[in-house]
Structure 1
Amino acid sequence: MPFKPVLVRERDCYTVRGIANKLGISAEDALACVRSLSARGILTLRSDSLPDGYDPGGDAEAIGKYQVTWVGLARFKGKLLVAYPKYYPLGTEPSEDELKQVFRVLRKASGGLASIGAADPDALEDGGSFALMLRLLESYEENGIYSNYVRVLRDNGTGEIAWEPTIAALQPFMDGDAPAYFDLKTCGTSRDAADFVERLHRCVLTRCSADLEAWGIDELLGLAPVRISGEELEDFGDAEAVSYRLEQERSVQFVTWKQDVIDMLLRYLNPGEEYAAPEDELCLGTTSFYHAWEEACKAAFGDRLADRLDSLGVELRGEWTMRGRETLLGIIPRPEWARYDAEGVEEPCGEVDTLIPDVVAVHGDGAGGLAFCIYDAKYYTPTLGERVRGVPGVESVTKQVLYQSAYRRFVLDCGFSRVANVFLVPRHGGCVRRMGRVAFPGVFEPLGGPFTDGVEMWELPAEDVFECYLRGELIDGDVLRRVTGLG
């Protein structure tokens, strides 16, 4: 592995001394590191790690335990810290390829590397310079290098004929009443090989790429090296003169992505406090990795919640033949509120929010069997045994049963052979495994076939589900048949 990160697991706890030992730094630097990461929402002080009756004005920072509440990377004084997801068992660390996959998932779920940040809204923002560098490199990946083309007129060129300049500048030969031109003015483009902004763009991109490589995070983030310039920033003149030329170019540039590039170059050359150099401290990650798991399950299990009923491949019957343009989300009933006026007469109120499942899908077994599937993606690490820990709470169980009731008429009218009601939880490696099930006897009465009277929990290899998400593919058909009970 070309980079040498220090690995920690999400949800694991460390004291300041533990952080010092883990990173190989002094206790003083470790305390500074803990303060920096806590401000960004990466570490959280566990109140239950402090002695009973502890005075909050004391040295809680020094004696308390800090929990890793985030997945991502952080750099502190030359040390690279990488937090990996909590579904890895204790003592098991991800491989290089698995780490790279995690960051590809973060990148896709966030809409770009530069958009990934600590999710705590009260946390301090990351050094803006780091995000700016990532935006520059991502823009280059998508659009290429900035280039400037000058529109020119040529004599008898290969481009489009410019009739107005031709008529104004050249004498025609008259063939009867029709003019004929032996020479023509044509439109063309001439690329300025010494274009200032292009050269500067190449220089900055090369420098950004070299910095990420020196910090040991380029390959981890899946960024290819960019070596397209041998110039230094000093070759372009002082910042004021360079900024003036950029602003001049910006005033005549009307292509959006090129405008964005110029704006980013201006910020890169004139960093404010929010764009301070990130050599010593930077972070990239999220405290809401559960969102990535939810998005991955939607992709892998073929979420149809927003699809029209007449696009599901199901024979619509009864009233549903007239409701084909509605979606699976739209047919969920809504709570109905009413108010009483001064005379005690009931009046209906406006619409309110209703139940929204994570994933609703329709799967067939190829032999006529059809399953209506209600999935809830849970980023949990449950334990089922004499002690039940880390499982979805009563609210989650209740909602799953209610989802089934909400679709009851549609399922019965359209002839589904079974309903699958499933919690999907991640695991590291291994095979797809049915962990257990939960029922709520005495509270919810059984609905009878094809419905289920409980919610099953399935463990899925996270790497496989995330690969489906990255590729935009459904999970293996055998897995679908097992989870839905069709095979």
Structure 2
Amino acid sequence: MKVEILQELKPYSFNQIKRIFNKSDVSTEDILKSLGMTNIVRKINKDIQETELEELLNIENIEVFENESDIFVFKFVGMIVVEEVCLIIYPKYLSDYKIDRDRNYSDLRQILKVIKKYKFKEQKIDGSGSIFSKYNLLSTALELIEDYHENGLYRNDQQIIEVNGDGEILWEKTINESQAYFSQNRPFYLDIFNVSQINDKDDYFRRLHAAILTDLSKKLKEIFDIINVESLLLTDEKIENFGSYEYINTNIDREMRTQFVTSRVEVLKLIKRYLLESESFSSNQKISFLGTSSFNLVWEDVCSVVFGNNLKTPLKELGLKYSENVKNSALLVDVIPKPIWKSNEFNVEHSAKRTLIPDIVVVENEGIYIYDAKYYKIVLDDKKVEKQPGVEDITKQYLYELAFKNLANENNLEFKENSFILPTDKEDPVHIGEVSLDFLRNLNGLNQSKIDVYLMPAREFFKRYVER
């Protein structure tokens, strides 16, 4: 399998992508169209609106492609497999991403672990589907591998009844069918019936499960080697030996109707999905991926875990009092007022359901720390500032401090930090500068006249995130 290393939001021309896939113009267009439908690829051309271009702040050196009619960016972090080509797409903040191959893909492996943990958390919280809900052979294959390591091969146990065996005693059968002998008015039996559970190693679904694990391990061996997943070569049987897709599918449906062990039902569903994805899609639809098109949300959650976000912590647990709190069980986030809407006709007020919510607020050491995790590749030096958070982001940081002002005064808390937190591939934190808005910095009650800007070591943050 051919492996190509790319970077998120770096511009690539149509001809470059065509050479990567070694396809015709039409086939390359089909691939890009499929990737675009899943929000993985964005097309940038001369007709793109300025607002759309501003959304992709990290596109640089577009002028290099001025002779190209269309250029494309990958708004994605992770791995994409298209037939025999594997694209590895690194986050935009990594400056040395090209040498990760020489480091045995250590950055990639760590990033995929972080994305996996984030997606698992999000699915537990809101039950939402992920980017993997559509055709995704790679994702299904990894789920099957993980299930195997947790539960082993599919099994259908058979009950064997023996006389004087080692299994559980069947007292009712023993009493009804064995001769009872009495000693001191107490019965005893020379022959006792026992029941044992025997794993049927020739079971159809057990053998099918082994064949599928072997098949996907062979198909994805190069990918598994990159992400450090052990291949499973469990049998010489081929999937086609078990019948047509329709025949296998019918057998699985029949088995699921009689199987009541949840873990076994789940693996049958995975087997069915793998067969569907392997057999039922045309070649130009065979695109698999492992990653996310919203790495900014991943970075926010990483920072929240590392800093120890207190927004969802009850005020009582933080040892705080708040006279405006009408609920003794209120959380720290409930301190932020909600907009009040008033009807002139009916003279009735309504509280809005939503308000401004900061990314991270920490209360410790008699202080309040406000952090906003931003996923930008900022440039702030003696010549320029670019790719920085917008004015609305700066405004909100000041407003967050105002929102907590009364709580801070009532509990003698000092605002010790108000900062933007951005990722870097450097090994240590770097305080690269600050930003301020003159008409806001002089507002009554603001302690912080500026917003600090920090670059935080992503590798160290990822390590802490995965370990917690």
Contact 1:309 1:323 in 2 (8 A): no
Partner of 1:406: 403
1:453 matched to 2:449: yes
Q: Aligned AA for 1:195? A: D
Q: CA 1:153–1:332 in structure 2 vs 1: closer, same or farther (change >3 Å)? A: farther
**Residues 295-343 of structure 1: CA deviation (Å, up to 9, x unaligned):** 111111112222222333xx434649996632212332222222233xx
Distance 1:106 1:454 in 2: 33
Which residue of structure 1 aligns with residue 131 of structure 2? 117
Residues 1:152 and 1:416: Cα distance change in structure 2 (over 3 Å) = farther
Q: Which amino acid aligns with 1:6?
A: E
Contact residue 77 and residue 291 of structure 2 kept, 8 A: yes
Q: Is the 8 A contact 2:136 2:288 kept in 1?
A: no
Pair 1:234-2:231 in alignment: no
Q: Name the counterpart of 2:113.
A: 104
Deviates more, 1:296-305 or 1:350-359: 350-359
Equivalent residue for 2:148, pick from 135, 140, 144:
140
Match of 2:16 among 11, 15, 18: 18
Contact 1:203 1:230 in 2 (8 A): yes
**Cα–Cα, structure 1 residues 441 and 267, in superposed 2: closer, same or farther, change >3 Å?**
closer
Describe the shift of the 1:160–1:360 C-alpha distance in structure 2 as closer, same or farther (beyond 3 A): farther
Counterpart secondary structure, 1:337: strand
Choose from 431, 435, 443 the match for 2:432.
Answer: 435
- Out of 225, 235, 259, which is 2:265 matched to? 259
Residue 353 of structure 2 aligns to a residue whose secondary structure is coil
- Of 145-154 and 299-308, the range deviating more from structure 2: 145-154
For 1:264 and 1:258, locate their aligned partners in 2 and report how far apart those are by CA, in whole Å: 10
| 159 and 454 in structure 1: CA distance in 2 versus 1, 3 angstrom threshold | farther
Amino acid at match of 2:464: C
Q: How does 1:150-169 map to 2 (within 5 A)?
A: 150-169=158-177
The verdict on how the C-alpha distance between 1:186 and 1:275 changes in structure 2, with shifts beyond 3 A counting, is farther
The answer as to 2:200 corresponding to 1:192 is yes
Farther-moved stretch of structure 1 (426-435 vs 168-177): 168-177
Secondary structure at the aligned position of 1:306 is classed as coil
Is the Cα–Cα contact under 8 Å of residues 127 and 278 in structure 1 kept in the other structure?
Answer: no
What letter matches 1:149 in structure 2?
Answer: D
Displacement of 1:268: 3.7
CA contact (8 A) 1:380 1:391 kept: yes
- Take 2:271 and 2:361, find their aligned partners in 1: how far apart are those partners? 45
Give the unaligned 5+ runs of structure 1.
52-59, 119-124, 365-369, 473-487
Cα distance in 1 for residues equivalent to 2:342 and 2:411: 32
Q: Is the 8 A contact 1:126 1:283 kept in 2?
A: no
- Distance (Å, rounded) in 1 between the aligned partners of 2:433 and 2:391: 16
Aligned pairs (5 A) from 1:321-332: 325-332=329-336
Contact in 2 for aligned 1:129/1:278 (Cα 8 Å): no
* Number of the residue aligned with 1:397: 394
Distance in 2 (alpha carbons) for counterparts of 1:252 and 1:49: 58
Structure 1 position 84 matched with structure 2 position 90: yes
- Residues 1:382 and 2:374 are matched in the alignment: no
CA distance in 2, matches of 1:339, 1:26: 62
- More deviation, 89-98/271-280: 271-280
Shift of 1:244: 4.2
Distance 1:263 1:447 in 2: 61
Per-residue CA deviation, residues 222-257 of structure 1 (Å, 9 max, x unaligned), is: 422112222222333444544444333222201222
Q: Matched residue of 2:144: which SS?
A: helix
CA distance in 1, matches of 2:4, 2:348: 62
The whole-number CA distance in structure 1 between the counterparts of 2:135 and 2:401 is: 47
Q: Does 1:415 align with 2:412?
A: yes
Task: Give the C-alpha shift of residue 376 in structure 1.
Answer: 0.9
Secondary structure at the aligned position of 1:372 is classed as strand
Native 8 Å contact 1:116 1:285 kept in 2: no
CA–CA separation in structure 2 for the residues paired with 1:271 and 1:426: 36
Give ranges in structure 2 of 5+ residues lacking alignment: 50-65, 124-128
| Mapped pair 1:356 → 2:333 | no
SS in 1 for 2:370: strand
Cα-to-partner distance string for 1:343-402 (whole Å, 9 max, x where unaligned): xx41122542122221122344xxxxx332221110011122443211111211122222
What is the aligned partner in structure 2 of residue 286 from structure 1? 292
Distance 1:407 1:294, change over 3 A: same
Separation in structure 1 between the aligned mates of residue 292 and residue 429 of structure 2, nearest angstrom: 27
Deviation at 1:406, TM superposition (A): 1.8
Which of 408, 422, 425 is residue 425 of structure 1 equivalent to? 422
Distance 1:198-1:373 versus aligned 2 partners, 3 A rule: same
- Alignment check: 8 A CA contact 1:357 1:374 kept: yes
In structure 2, C-alpha distance between the alignment counterparts of 1:258 and 1:292, rounded to whole Å: 32
Distance 1:233 1:322, change over 3 A: same
* Cα deviation, residue 270, structure 1: 5.1
CA RMSD of aligned residues (A): 3.5
In the TM superposition, what are the counterparts of 1:330-369 in structure 2 within 5 Å?
Answer: 330-341=334-345, 345-364=346-365
For the 8 Å contact 2:418–2:451, the answer to whether it is kept is yes
Identical aligned pairs, as a percentage?
A: 27
**Superimposed CA distance per residue, residues 54-113 of structure 1 (whole angstroms, 9 cap, x where no aligned partner):** xxxxxx99622222222222334533222111112388654521122222222222239x
The 8 Å contact of residues 40 and 74 in structure 2, kept in 1 or not, is answered as yes
Deviation, 1:204, is 0.4
* 2:5 equivalent to 1:7: yes
- Determine whether 1:301 maps to 2:307: yes
C-alpha separation in 1, matches of 2:224 and 2:179: 62
User: How far apart are residue 423 of structure 1 and its match?
Assistant: 0.9
What is the rounded CA distance, in whole Å, between the counterparts of 1:269 and 1:34 in structure 2? 25
Separation in 1, partners of 2:8, 2:276: 36
> Judging changes above 3 Å, is the alpha-carbon distance between structure 1 residues 217 and 408 closer, same or farther for their aligned structure 2 residues?
same
Q: In the aligned structure 2, how far is the partner of 1:388 from the partner of 1:331? A: 34
**What is the total number of aligned residue pairs between the two structures?**
443
Larger % of helix: which?
2
Distance 1:322 1:152, change over 3 A: farther
Shift of 1:160: 3.7
Q: Distance in 1 between matches of 2:437 and 2:214?
A: 60
Secondary structure at the residue paired with 2:332?
A: coil
Letter in 2 for 1:13: P
Work out whether 1:206 is the aligned partner of 2:214.
Answer: yes
CA, structure 1 residues 236+65, in 2 after alignment: closer, same or farther (shift >3 Å)? closer
